[in-house]
Structure 1
Amino acid sequence: MSGIRVVEVGAFMAAPFATMQLADLGATVIKVENPEGGDQVRAIGPFTAGHSSPFARLNRNKRSVALDLKSEPGAAAFRRLVQHADVLVENLRPGAMRKLGLGYDDLSPLNPGLVYVSASGWGQDGPLANLPGLDIMAQARGGLMSVTGMPGGDPVKVGVPIADLVCGLYGALGAVSALQARHATGQGQHVDVSLLESAVSFAIWEAGKYFATGEVGGPLGSAHQSTAPYQAIRTADGWCTVGAVTPKTWQGLCAALGLPELLADQRYADAHDRHGLRHELIPAIERVTTTRTTADVVAALDARGVPCAPISDYSQVFNDEHLEQRRFFWDAEHPEMGPVRQLGSAMRFSATPTRRGPAGPLLGADTVEVLRECGLTGQEIDRLLAEGAAAQSPTPLEST
């Protein structure tokens, strides 16, 4: 995406995660922040050298411009930025950008090719649109919490902010798709993505069951919705996961664990039938696996080609040999934090590798430089700074 210019007005997760993807793909991303503190994630720890560790990772490869969009001079400068942009991504509450005179209908006449991505809790219209919406609310209303956790247990959310993050991915995909459409039409468009619809979009198995039979799914722990064994099983020293749902892998599991009687039992011949008998099947499997270590069980299943994996905590994940050999983790430089370890992009390209540039910028690090690129004179920039409509970091981070 080299040559594509993206303006972000984002906080916390969805918009910043969307633009992180675009920045990784080579786009120039200009993060516009309030001069008074910037993105709220800057205030969330843990901190290194006084700077937010999560912010430095979520906002890598970006430039920071500090503008007060509630002031007319700051909003006017923002419009100049947008005139030079291909994409704008924002995740303020619906209507907030319009109140500032910076909605899609306000900015599109200034830049007809602008792709304007709005991420929100519930979408830009509908009865819920004006309500605050965070990830846990989207997981709750979107059904995810109804199928997560143990049967009969308390409601449980997915351990990461999955609705927020995938809304960001949909936003990035929407931006790329709208840019492709612009090649044919010459026109930009408004892209509306929401946490709620992102959460509901995961319900592939649940929708297949409900729309076919009317049955409503519930929490199954780690078990699959319709086939077995496909879940976490106990070992002598912990847990591992297994997915033996094809005839070949079911045969392999029975052979690896020395359970010929299960293979011979015709009640277990079909993966769907096994699912209905989990209450007796899983204990039968665990009578063997709980006598062996996790490493032994995984090795035995691997040898038979049965999909399986140990359950790793993040200290193990962040030091995983496979990920290390694939150079998934890398260090991004920061002027005060030093090297900042990064999670790699999940996208690998044979010819155009993703960018590995600086860590999240200091607040206002690029204000003066970016405004000059947009045609503002030194005198105009000085006036913005003097009026407090803009701010410049005293130690700018060189961007790439």
Structure 2
Amino acid sequence: MLPLQGITVLDLTQVIAGPVAGQILGDMGADVIKIEPLEGDHFRPQMGGAWVPAMNRNKRGLALDLKSEGGKQVMWRLVQRADVFMEAFVPGVMTRLGFGYEAVSAVNPGIVYLSISGYGQTGPYRNRAGYDPCIQAETGIMEATGHQDGPPARVGAAPVDQGTGTYGALGVALALLARHRTGRGQHIDLALYDVGVQLMSHWITNYGRTGEDPQRMGMSHTLIVPLRTFATQTQPLYVACTNDAFWHKLLEGIGLAKLKADPRFRTNADRVANRAVLEPILEAAFAAQTCEELLTRLIPAGVPCAPVKKVSDMLHDPHAIARQSFVEMAYPGLGKVMAANNPLRLSDVPVAVRRLGPHLGEHTREILREIGYRDGEIDALAKAKAVRLHEDEPATPSP
């Protein structure tokens, strides 16, 4: 039995953060109903249509117009039966639609209501829309990223969105645990902004001690030397000497054991102070060797290091394949869709693609039947444009 089996989640979120949270809950067995407007999640066209299939596996799909009277009636029936309600609109939007936390919890006091927004339900920025790069800009991530002599840079992935989605799923699980003990649901106020601040945690601590902002260091690090990428004869190699023991092992591995006794480089503080002298010496040693031969010495010695790979390299890496770190799904109309797998590895919970990401409105009729609507009533709702139907057979994973 999956840990969230029997839990019903109404997922009204779009783009990345909310769908990630819902997908985690779906992977863990919840019946996640992805509720979209009649025109669909506005990211559906992205990546040639592969976006929603990649971000919304293990969910069912319902297309609903929450501004219509019929759509509102459908939503209220769903609310009465649901355990979790997830929305990701600018604060106040759901209240204006009639489905804010106060209204929903009055009908279903046990419901866990997750609100994801850019800046949170309170504070002077609450009414601003927020996306991952905006939050990277506002929380110091962007200013701390990039080359020393260059402008601030955006992190190439979406760490704020992905982190928010993970915290969203965690918050829902904790609130469900609390409900198990108290019988009461609660409202979760989750802001991308707060997650961005959390990602800068060690820099906040450093500023509190020193009053210094982080400097852009490219692939290097302000506080630790060497912690950076080095060019080799083949591909770049990243090395993280976070303590003096690793430093000594690194010197042995790259053929610079003589530097162990050099007082300029004895401790990390010494190495930071003498960075300008040390780094050219290290660069020359790395540049004279291949990445592959360096790895054969550094990895067995326990030195934290890794070759710098492209996504295409990673997807062919034997470790990623062995860990099943990504999944491939045959999706009708699109062919093969690749996506990151759920990184959770619970010994008693096999994570699998039990249901492909839904087509727009794919399960509208199925879901409405479950909450008491007859086919004639469903057809009338569709004719009134309160719901949208997709009459294909439910998608199932390919073997």
TM-score over 0.5 (shorter chain) = yes
Structure 1 unaligned regions, length at least 5: none
Query: 2:364: which partner in 1?
Result: 367
Query: 2:104: which partner in 1?
Result: 107
Which of 238, 256, 266 pairs up with 1:241?
A: 238
Deviations 1:314-345 (A, max 9, x none): 11011111111222233334333344333211
Cα distance in 2 for partners of 1:272, 1:370 equals 62
202 and 225 in structure 1: CA distance in 2 versus 1, 3 angstrom threshold: farther
- Does the alignment pair 1:41 with 2:43? yes
| 1:334/1:361 contact within 8 Å kept | no
Query: 2:163: which partner in 1?
Result: 166
Query: 1:391: which partner in 2?
Result: 388
Cα distance in 2 for partners of 1:399, 1:74 equals 27
Query: 1:199: which partner in 2?
Result: 196
Which of 284, 287, 296 pairs up with 1:299?
A: 296
Cα distance in 2 for partners of 1:71, 1:289 equals 65
Residue identity in the other structure for 1:139:
Q
Query: 2:59: which partner in 1?
Result: 62
Residue identity in the other structure for 2:109:
P
CA apart distance, 1:280: 2.1
Query: 2:341: which partner in 1?
Result: 344
CA apart distance, 1:380: 2.8
Cα distance in 1 for partners of 2:339, 2:207 equals 41
- TM-score by structure 2 length? 0.95
CA apart distance, 1:200: 0.6
Cα distance in 1 for partners of 2:272, 2:73 equals 61
CA apart distance, 1:15: 0.8
Residue identity in the other structure for 1:273:
D
Q: Cα RMSD between the aligned structures? A: 1.6
Larger deviation, residues 306-315 vs 326-335: 326-335
Query: 1:309: which partner in 2?
Result: 306
Query: 1:27: which partner in 2?
Result: 30
Residue 245 of structure 2 aligns to a residue whose secondary structure is: helix
- Does the alignment pair 1:376 with 2:373? yes
Cα distance in 2 for partners of 1:235, 1:276 equals 25
Deviations 1:36-82 (A, max 9, x none): 2x00111112x2xxxx1122110111110010011121012011112
| 1:23/1:355 contact within 8 Å kept | no
- Does the alignment pair 1:228 with 2:221? no
| 1:3/1:27 contact within 8 Å kept | yes
Cα distance in 2 for partners of 1:277, 1:53 equals 50
Q: What does residue range 126-275 of structure 1 map to in structure 2 within 5 Å?
A: 126-275=123-272
Cα distance in 2 for partners of 1:339, 1:153 equals 39
How many corresponding residue pairs? Answer: 394
CA apart distance, 1:32: 0.4
166 and 143 in structure 1: CA distance in 2 versus 1, 3 angstrom threshold: same
CA apart distance, 1:251: 1.2
Larger deviation, residues 373-382 vs 309-318: 373-382
- Does the alignment pair 1:335 with 2:332? yes
Cα distance in 2 for partners of 1:321, 1:234 equals 24
Which of 15, 21, 37 pairs up with 1:12?
A: 15
Residue identity in the other structure for 1:219:
R
Cα distance in 2 for partners of 1:351, 1:214 equals 47
Cα distance in 2 for partners of 1:15, 1:326 equals 25
| 1:26/1:354 contact within 8 Å kept | no
Cα distance in 2 for partners of 1:19, 1:66 equals 16
Query: 1:82: which partner in 2?
Result: 79
Query: 1:355: which partner in 2?
Result: 352
Residue identity in the other structure for 1:18:
A
Cα distance in 2 for partners of 1:6, 1:53 equals 23
| 1:332/1:358 contact within 8 Å kept | no
Residue identity in the other structure for 1:321:
P
Residue identity in the other structure for 2:25:
L
CA apart distance, 1:27: 1.0
Residue 35 of structure 1 aligns to a residue whose secondary structure is: coil
Cα distance in 1 for partners of 2:279, 2:202 equals 22
- TM-score by structure 1 length? 0.95
Cα distance in 2 for partners of 1:327, 1:166 equals 21
Cα distance in 2 for partners of 1:2, 1:399 equals 18
CA apart distance, 1:379: 3.5
Task: Tell me the percent identity.
Answer: 38
334 and 238 in structure 1: CA distance in 2 versus 1, 3 angstrom threshold: closer
Residue identity in the other structure for 1:235:
T
Cα distance in 1 for partners of 2:270, 2:9 equals 51
| 2:132/2:159 contact within 8 Å kept | yes
- Does the alignment pair 1:92 with 2:89? yes
| 1:66/1:363 contact within 8 Å kept | yes
CA apart distance, 1:148: 0.5
| 2:111/2:186 contact within 8 Å kept | yes
| 2:10/2:32 contact within 8 Å kept | yes
Structure 2 unaligned regions, length at least 5: none
| 1:333/1:357 contact within 8 Å kept | no
Residue 42 of structure 1 aligns to a residue whose secondary structure is: coil
